[in-house]
Structure 1
Amino acid sequence: MPWSFMTLTKWDQTWWDQWGPIYREAFQHGAKPEKVLRSMLDRGIASLHAGLQDGETVAMAVTGVSSGHSRKRLILDYMAVRQDHRGQGLGHRFFSQIRDYAVMEHHAEAILIEAEAEDTEMNRERLRFWIDCGFIATPYVHQYIWVPEPYRALYLPLKEHFTLTDGGQSLFQDITSFHHRSFRGQ
């Protein structure tokens, strides 16, 4: 089964028409509206990625770069595999290409994600997936004011010098800053 990975840095409605259903299926609550995603790409603060199997889109992701204080970190804002293709190793395959993208295109020192921290079976499965991808879960649980569920930051070091000196609070500074930039001008 031929597999390909593609990245868009400019909005393309034709591709979004294929990728959007995966996004909406996986993120029924808490997803950024399409107009926000479009604005993020138009302003150059995000990229869209897709994994295609036999030419058919089976995975999608939204990433952005948090940079400041002479550091670069890739924020993996959303990642999903189409529900009817889960359990086949495609999520790991797709993520490995996002990891390679973070290193080659952005020279990122780490990849950051946030995952729901409530103790549910679904959240435990997601956490296991990310840890299996090499992520390290932090003990700090963050409560946003605009969503009811708490989140935990996870990070994947990409460079030897990357270290975390707190329980994860500093990672949420980068993640929150990215979210604020996402909604600016909306």
Structure 2
Amino acid sequence: MLFTTLEQLDNQLWPLAEELYHRSFPKEGRKPDSIITGMFTRMTCYLHTLTDGGTVEAMALSGLTGGGRILLIDYIAVSESRRGEGIGSQLIEAITDWAHNEKQLDGLLIEVESERTPVNEQRIRFWERNGFTITDYEHPYIWVPEPYRAMYKQLNQETGWIGDGSGKKLFRYITVFHEKAYSKK
């Protein structure tokens, strides 16, 4: 598998990753294409892919927050035909190595649905297997019905970016990211 990270959407890799993104997330559960395109022009965002023989088997969209020291993984998708092979974990490992070694970031951050359903519990276990720690704080959004919790993976042990570990501070970073993503400026 070939790991690639792009800071700008291109005309070769992005259409292949975008197809996987569309297949993996229903229209109401994903950011519109215009928002994603705008994110890459307004803020520091990344497209991460794992390809096999020219086919995008896994992709993730991420961006910097927390003063440019934290990478928020916004979306991750694995080709349906390749799920269960550990490709999602390979992508997370590659992103972690890239964030730590090339970007010297303090940590990785994600948000997960906190409603106790089998699907949500399975997603949380996936992130825990990949070194993420879940917080107790449940964040209510006004535009989506379900609450979310933050999960983090610390890369630099010397920084205090996690705060008290409750998740409230982490959601400030997540909120700033989403505000920039949906901004028209």
Q: What's the CA shift for 1:126?
A: 0.4
RMSD, matched Cα: 1.5
After superposition, give the CA deviation of every residue in 1:37-95 in whole Å (9 maximum; x if it has no partner): 11111234211111112221100101111133xx7111011111111110001111111
Write the mapping of 1:147-186 to structure 2, written as runs, cut at 5 A.
147-162=144-159, 163-185=162-184
SS at match of 2:29: coil
Q: In the alignment, what sits opposite 2:30? A: 31
After superposition, give the CA deviation of every residue in 1:75-126 in whole Å (9 maximum; x if it has no partner): 0111111111100011111110111121133211110000111111111110
Write the mapping of 1:125-136 to structure 2, written as runs, cut at 5 A.
125-136=122-133
Q: In the alignment, what sits opposite 1:14? A: 12
Q: What's the CA shift for 1:166?
A: 4.0
TM-score, normalisation: structure 1: 0.92
2:119 pairs with 1:98: no
| Equivalent AA in structure 2 for residue 112 of structure 1 | L
TM-score, normalisation: structure 2: 0.92
Q: In the alignment, what sits opposite 2:76? A: 79
Q: 2:108 aligns with which of 111, 127, 130?
A: 111
Size of the aligned set, in residue pairs, is 182
Please say if residues 140 and 148 of structure 2, whose CA atoms lie closer than 8 Å, have aligned partners that are also in contact: yes
2:169 and 2:113 mapped to 1: Cα distance? 18
| Equivalent AA in structure 2 for residue 153 of structure 1 | A
Structure 2 spans left out of the alignment, 5+ residues: none
Please say if residues 138 and 167 of structure 1, whose CA atoms lie closer than 8 Å, have aligned partners that are also in contact: yes
2:134 and 2:56 mapped to 1: Cα distance? 29
After superposition, give the CA deviation of every residue in 1:118-158 in whole Å (9 maximum; x if it has no partner): 11111111000000000000001111111111111000010
Please say if residues 135 and 155 of structure 1, whose CA atoms lie closer than 8 Å, have aligned partners that are also in contact: yes
Q: In the alignment, what sits opposite 2:64? A: 65
Please say if residues 150 and 167 of structure 2, whose CA atoms lie closer than 8 Å, have aligned partners that are also in contact: yes
> Identity over aligned residues, as a percent?
37
Structure 1 spans left out of the alignment, 5+ residues: none
Please say if residues 9 and 44 of structure 1, whose CA atoms lie closer than 8 Å, have aligned partners that are also in contact: no
2:149 and 2:66 mapped to 1: Cα distance? 20
**Greater shift in the superposed pair: 41-50 or 142-151:** 41-50
Runs in 1 of length 4+ with deviation above 4 angstroms? none
